[in-house]
Amino acid sequence: MKSYFLLIALLTATFSFAQDTPTPETKKVWTLEDCISYAIENNITIKEASLNKDLADVDYGASKSSRLPNLFGSASQNFSNGNTIDPITSDYVTDQIHSTNLGINSSMTLFQGNQISNEIKKSKLLLDQSILQEDVEKNNIILNILETYLQALYAKESITVAENNLNASETEVARAKARLDAGTIALSDYTEAQSQAATNRYNIIAAKNDYQQYIITLKQLLELTPADELEIDPISENMDVVNLELDKIDIYNKALGILPEIKASELNVAVSEKELDIAKGGYLPTLTLSGSVGSGYTSINDNTFSDQFDVNFNQQLGLSLSIPIFNRNQTKAAVQSATINIEKAQIQKQATEKDLYKRVETAYQNAVSAQEQVLAAEASKVAAEQSYELAQKKYELGALSTTDLVISQNTFTNAQQNYLQAKYLNVLYHQLLQYYQGNAITL
């Protein structure tokens, strides 16, 4: 019976320990989509653009409030001695006077050359422009992540290539040592095999360093800490190819209608035009409505404080018209500056469109070229691999020197690197063309 209870207690403790023991978490592998979505939420450049948008929204709200009347309260307590004028009764007296004034005043601009309305419209345009600028920053981060992600994948595959070459080199060193001991090759052949193995070890180190550098750049784009680990997901081998029948002019025209930097440049022209309208408003008169209520108390009056406040209660309402006649050519200079700024904004818009066309055409030509390079590089890699395999067999039979074997291996290595480079460039430029057409970037 004691053994039975002991067994139950042991099983219970084991089960409880198994429940309390945390299981190791599976290491997260980041896809390109994961990186993009995380960066959009956390990248500080995007956050800064979002704050600029919030500031523009505040400015827009403040401009709309400029239509409203203001309201101020005032209070004063004064003491005078000797010959003076009573501030309440306006009587000329020779005495000590304690006086109190309380009031509320307000004013509202009824007309100011439509400057208030144009300021509101300008603030709305600036708000829309800041929203577009936030989209521009998001797109820039997305493109930077795409490029860095593909560069990291290229470096990661280069590590595999270098490791395979090192394994082959170490096998060749062992074979060369056996042949050296058998006296069938010279010492120089053996040392050449060792040199090739050392070179491949160096290539592994260099490839790993390149990979880590790209990972660091990617982590910074994601705003990850140095302690965070980042493992990226390889892309599918069956990627879509570029449609060679796609017209680059059609891509450019589509990009003109969807990219936020183009719309932002158009709004920049509209903002400059509103600034011209605001400047021209300086030629027109300003009409202001004002009003106030108040009362006061003076010590030379025998009535009580409350009675005087009731008796001295006053109200004022008035209109004032300000007509600009000459302001030292300030309005004229403002109009001229605004006109020049419109021309500058139009030139900037043309420059933005010109830059976009250059980027689209470059991406298109590179995409077409990269697609052809992939096919050529793949054929070259297959041929170089077959040649290297044949060279290894000849080397095993003693029908090939170490130098020729090293040359064959280096040729195969270069062919592999060329294929990897062409493959990832093809993916990069294909995704860029997708971006310019408004399509999502996915791998």
207, 154 contact by CB (below 8 A): no
pTM of the model: 0.84
Computed from CA positions of residues 7, 13, 19, 21, in that sequence, does the dihedral angle turn out positive or negative?
Answer: negative
Q: Where does residue 328 rank: exposed (0-12), middle (13-18), buried (19+ CB within 10 A)? A: exposed
CA-to-CA distance for 365 and 363, rounded, in angstroms? 6
Contacts of 173 (CB under 8 A, 6+ apart): 190, 193, 194, 197
Do residues 59 and 174 both lie within one domain? yes
Do residues 347 and 396 both lie within one domain? yes
Predicted local confidence at residue 3, as pLDDT: 44
Predicted local confidence at residue 242, as pLDDT: 52
pLDDT, tens digit (0-9, with 9 covering 90-100), for 171-210:
989 988 988 888 888 898 899 999 999 999 999 999 999 9
Calculate mean pLDDT across residues 236-243: 57
pLDDT, tens digit (0-9, with 9 covering 90-100), for 88-133:
677 777 778 888 999 999 999 999 999 999 999 999 999 999 999 9
Predicted local confidence at residue 355, as pLDDT: 97
Do residues 274 and 358 both lie within one domain? yes
R_g (Cα) of the chain, nearest Å: 40
CATH number of the domain to which 122 belongs: 1.20.1600.10
The pLDDT of residue 6 is above 70: no
Cα 288 to chain centroid distance, Å, stands at 45
pLDDT, tens digit (0-9, with 9 covering 90-100), for 306-357:
888 888 899 999 999 999 999 999 999 999 999 999 999 999 999 999 999 9
Predicted local confidence at residue 20, as pLDDT: 43
Q: How many CB atoms lie within 10 A of CB 40?
A: 14
Confidence of residue 400 (pLDDT cuts 50, 70, 90): confident
Contacts of 353 (CB under 8 A, 6+ apart): 256, 262, 265
Do residues 181 and 277 both lie within one domain? yes
Calculate mean pLDDT across residues 370-379: 91
In a domain, 59, yes or no: yes
Provide the domain limits for residue 426.
28-68+113-284+328-436
Do residues 302 and 406 both lie within one domain? no
Number of separate domains in the chain: 2
224 closest CA partner among 49, 52, 34, 431 = 34
Predicted local confidence at residue 281, as pLDDT: 96
Do residues 308 and 297 both lie within one domain? yes
277: its two tokens: 């309208």
pLDDT, mean over the chain: 89
413 closest CA partner among 377, 439, 369, 364 = 377
pLDDT, tens digit (0-9, with 9 covering 90-100), for 48-80:
999 999 999 999 999 999 999 999 999 999 888
Predicted local confidence at residue 277, as pLDDT: 97
The pLDDT of residue 420 is above 80: yes
The pLDDT of residue 25 is above 70: no
Do residues 262 and 155 both lie within one domain? yes
